[in-house]
Chains A and B, each alone.
Chain A
Amino acid sequence: MSRLASLLLTTLLCLAAPLVAQAAPLPPDSAYLLEDTYTDQAGQDFLLTDGRGQPRLVAMFYTSCRYICPLIIDSAKGVERALEPEERQRLGILLVSLDPDRDDVAALKSVFDKRRLDAERWTLARTEAAAVRRLAAVLGVRYRPLADGEFNHTSALVLLDADGRVLARTERLGAVPDPEFLAAVKASLADSMTRN
């Protein structure tokens, strides 16, 4: 093959590679197969699969929650703090509201600002009620609205890999992360680094 031809071929391959990666079908157990539209604290619409390509922490919460939900944010922050700075940069954190009736964009934005979350990595989001149930089912979160407007719910931090598969979950919440869960987060970040 001539040098020109091989150069052309290399160029073509380089151009094509990202397209191929983009188009690869999701694994059959990927949470990113959920096709619902979500809206973030800035009012931007997105799909879960938009987060494909890097590991992500996902949890469910609601803004009017008095006790456990602040703890969910603390727990995710606890995981972040336990990471090296270069690891931290590559971990997305998505919290989805269980309470789409009351958690509008303004409510999400208010908590986002109050907790001084970093928009580079953190997303607080809402979606429609049926989509909330679907996501909760995928994440293994059970919840029930209470008469007083609060929710009875299980609380979990779930780690998704770069393709949206559930890699690990923990129900041990608190500012000091569950060591096994933290190890899984670090391993997934290392794994996605070598792939990229």
Chain B
Amino acid sequence: MRGLPASLVLASLLAAGPVAAGEWVRLPGGEFQSVLRYEDTGGKVAVAPFELQRRPVTNAEYAAFLRGQPDWRRDRVPSLFADQGYLQRWAGPLEPGPEAQPAQPVVEVSWFAAQAYCEARGARLPTWDEWEYAAAADETRVDARADPAWRERILAWYSVPSGRALPEVGRSPANVHGVQDLHGLVWEWVDDYAAMLVSADNRDQGDPDLRKFCGAGALSMDDRENYAVMMRVAMLSALQARDTTRNLGFRCARDVAEGDRP
């Protein structure tokens, strides 16, 4: 076989860098300062290496899942696992239709449904720490959060009226890890959304026998500048697992096998 010109080989190697590496992106993890400052951690969390889907799950991908797992069709899903709004804007139980274009992120899915989708793919939902860690990056920095310009940019999304049609996935620039659409497209479920105990110190409320929370671990969020992330926390922590909303989608994560780590 005739050899390819060296310049072409080089170009294709460059193109195959982190951005073109497929559906999953590997993130190195490490110690991370979360916006959630729990009493016991001070906000310092250790994020193990993990893989994250480059983009949120789309309507087309979700439709393929439903063909294999028809129990999750909107006309069959038990009310235990999804509220009335589940996939309501789809044209039919298996057809996303004009209101839910194939490349738009799937929304109106419950936590149970998102969890089932990821499990069916041998994956899981990301934890909040993983999501927040991935979303702290911009195009060039692993942690861009201290930069006021970065914060402004993210906040601008929240001023876009939510009634507008959702953009397609993959239109935003990839961050330094190669992940797209963490900001500016949809809210995303995390596996442990129910762990985000945002309420003030529950141990101080009323009769100690009636107290709701056991143990230490009161939460404060002292990074008051980081409104964008705090809005996510507030929204996620207010949800029930069967809830669906028009701006809430998800993506999957998976562990990196011990021997596979750098």
Q: Is A112 an interface residue (CB 8 A)?
A: no
Residues of A within 8 A of B217 (CB): 144, 146, 152
| Number of residues of chain B lying within 8 A (CB) of chain A | 29
Q: Is B112 an interface residue (CB 8 A)?
A: yes
The contact of B78 among A28, A140, A143, A144, by CB within 8 Å, is A28
Residues of B within 8 A of A31 (CB): 80
* Min distance, Cβ B260 to any Cβ of chain A, angstroms: 21
A79 to B215, CA, bound (A): 24
Given A67-B214, A152-B197, A33:B80 Cβ within 8 A: yes
* Min distance, Cβ A116 to any Cβ of chain B, angstroms: 23
CB of B212 within 8 A of CB of A171, answer: yes
A69 to B215, CA, bound (A): 11
* Residue interface mask B204-222, A partner, CB < 8 A = 1: 0000011011111100000
For chain B, what secondary structure do more than half of its interface residues adopt (helix, strand, loop), or is it mixed? loop
CB of A130 within 8 A of CB of B119, answer: yes
* Residue interface mask B61-92, A partner, CB < 8 A = 1: 00000000000000000111100000000000
Q: Is A53 an interface residue (CB 8 A)?
A: no
Q: Is B162 an interface residue (CB 8 A)?
A: no
CB of B78 within 8 A of CB of A150, answer: no
CB of A133 within 8 A of CB of B194, answer: yes
* Min distance, Cβ A48 to any Cβ of chain B, angstroms: 12
Q: Is B195 an interface residue (CB 8 A)?
A: yes
CB of A138 within 8 A of CB of B80, answer: yes
CB of B210 within 8 A of CB of A134, answer: no
Q: Is B191 an interface residue (CB 8 A)?
A: yes
* Min distance, Cβ B69 to any Cβ of chain A, angstroms: 13
Q: Is B26 an interface residue (CB 8 A)?
A: no
B residues apposed to A, CB below 8 Å: 38, 40-41, 78-81, 111-112, 115, 119, 124, 191-192, 194-197, 209-210, 212-217, 240-242
Q: List 13 A–B pairs whose Cβ atoms lie within 8 Å, in order of A's numbering.
A: A28-B78, A29-B78, A30-B78, A65-B215, A69-B214, A134-B112, A137-B112, A137-B194, A143-B195, A146-B40, A151-B215, A152-B216, A152-B217
A residues apposed to B, CB below 8 Å: 26, 28-31, 33, 65, 67-69, 130, 133-134, 136-138, 140, 142-148, 150-155, 171-174
